[in-house]
Amino acid sequence: MLNNQENNRFWLEDHHFLKIDKGKLIFWNYKSHEQFEITPRHASRLIDFSKGSFLKNTSLDREIFNSAVIVKKKHESHWGWDWLAHIYHYGTCHPSPPEFRGFEKTNSENAKSYIEYCASIAHNEPEIDVIRGGKIFNLPDPNIDSFKSISLWDTLINRRTCRDFNGSSAELSDLSDILFATFGDQCSPDPTTPLNAKVHGYRRTSPSTGGLQCTEPYLWAININGLPSGIYHYLSRRHKLENVLQGNAKYPIGTYLCNQNWANDLAFAIIMTCRMDKLWWKYPHSRAYRPMLMDVGHLSQTLNMCITAKGLHPWITGYFHDKDISELLSCPHEKEEPMLIVGAGSGSGSSFSRESRNEFNKIQIS
Ligand SMILES: Cc1cc2nc3c(=O)[nH]c(=O)nc-3n(C[C@H](O)[C@H](O)[C@H](O)COP(=O)(O)O)c2cc1C
């Protein structure tokens, strides 16, 4: 049985991190999204609580108790990653602000507040298009008929991640069709659009979070008939390429992709970045980080399908040297970051690289 003193034992709740901001020490609960400014007295007392200190009847302890940063039961974590992933996970959860609990709005109230919110942010909407200002390359007009000769089911079933490419070239016309079908503006007028609705952005063949089209495509042209090798930005609404980097990068592509060297035999790779500034504008809450990643995921699947429908093999990677790829693309730091890369080329179609097949073949089966 617990004695009175044991009942007063408190532990520091462990969903916190400390941040120094403008000379203030901030104690930030990333689960409840609450922030507290703390003094050296608070800090020293919080360290006591992290060791399971007993609550005393002092004004300092009452203040700490009322802020709910200490708890009765020590938290046992079953988390398998490090604490940075924990912060990301809970930091991007919706904290259920109290005003939503028990105060459900009607559909018309919801519509009204959404439209008022959109009107209130309309004055500083970010640029819809990224324009790098590099030399423009015209792409052949897209030939969408080429996608109609293969069924959806055949494309789905033929899509396989390949890691054995042979270095042959791809046709510019195929690349052009793939870019258009995945990232091109397919904006056909929506007859249900109300008169006063302001349209921000455009439409692609994949859904997009907030309709913002926050994913930007860049092309690493390795071996394309009719296009000098280099790095380009695809202008989604103009169906053109603009040059970002001429010729070869310092290292072959596989080096930038953490030595996944089968990528050196791709014909091309599409690097997808996220325009965070678009998300910050409409959804200024960290929750928006999740749909931003899923936006890329949707486009990646469409891209995989289009590559497959053209008879090429796709390969996908989320594993690369972020900073180096960012520098190659001259991405404006933090506003736009590379997230996922999809490569394409010809080859055996095997999901095993030649080297890994050789290694497997050496293993003696007893
Ligand atoms: C988001 C994402 C990231 C991936 N990253 C890599 C990667 O870094 N390297 C790699 O070789 N494959 C990567 N893959 C491919 C998976 O390994 C592959 O899809 C999986 O083994 C299933 O095989 P399948 O695509 O042929 O069905 C990734 C796939 C996804 C969806």
pLDDT one-digit tens code per residue, 230-242: 999 999 999 999 9
- Confidence (pLDDT) at 9: 92
> With a cut of 70, which residues of the chain have pLDDT below it?
1-4, 96-103, 189, 366
What are the DSSP calls for 210-238, one per residue? GG---EEEEEEESSEETB-SEEEEEETTT
Cβ(356) – ligand 1 distance below 6 Å: no
- Return the residue whose CA atom lies nearest to atom 6 of ligand 1: 317
Contact between residue 326 and residue 282 where contact means Cβ atoms under 8 Å apart: no
- Confidence (pLDDT) at 99: 59
Find the 48 Cα to ligand 1 centroid distance in Å.
46
Cβ(316) – ligand 1 distance below 6 Å: yes
CA distance 286 to 279: 10
CA 160 to ligand 1: nearest atom: 26
What are 204's two structure tokens?
């692609």
CATH 3.40.109.10 fits 119-355, yes or no: yes
Q: What is the pLDDT of residues 136-167, one digit of tens each?
A: 999 999 999 989 999 999 999 999 999 999 99
Nearest to 319 by CA among 335, 341, 304: 341
CA distance 53 to 11: 7
Contact between residue 45 and residue 38 where contact means Cβ atoms under 8 Å apart: no
CA 319 to ligand 1: nearest atom: 8
Find the 288 Cα to ligand 1 centroid distance in Å.
24
- Return the residue whose CA atom lies nearest to atom 8 of ligand 1: 317
- Return the residue whose CA atom lies nearest to atom 18 of ligand 1: 161
Find the 181 Cα to ligand 1 centroid distance in Å.
22
Where exactly are the structural domains of the chain?
4-91, 119-355
Reduced DSSP (H G I as helix, E B as strand, rest coil) percent helix, strand, coil of the chain, to 5: 35, 20, 40
Cβ(58) – ligand 1 distance below 6 Å: no
- Return the residue whose CA atom lies nearest to atom 27 of ligand 1: 160
57, exposed or middle or buried, with CB in 10 Å at 0-12, 13-18, 19+? exposed
Cβ(317) – ligand 1 distance below 6 Å: yes
- Confidence (pLDDT) at 1: 40
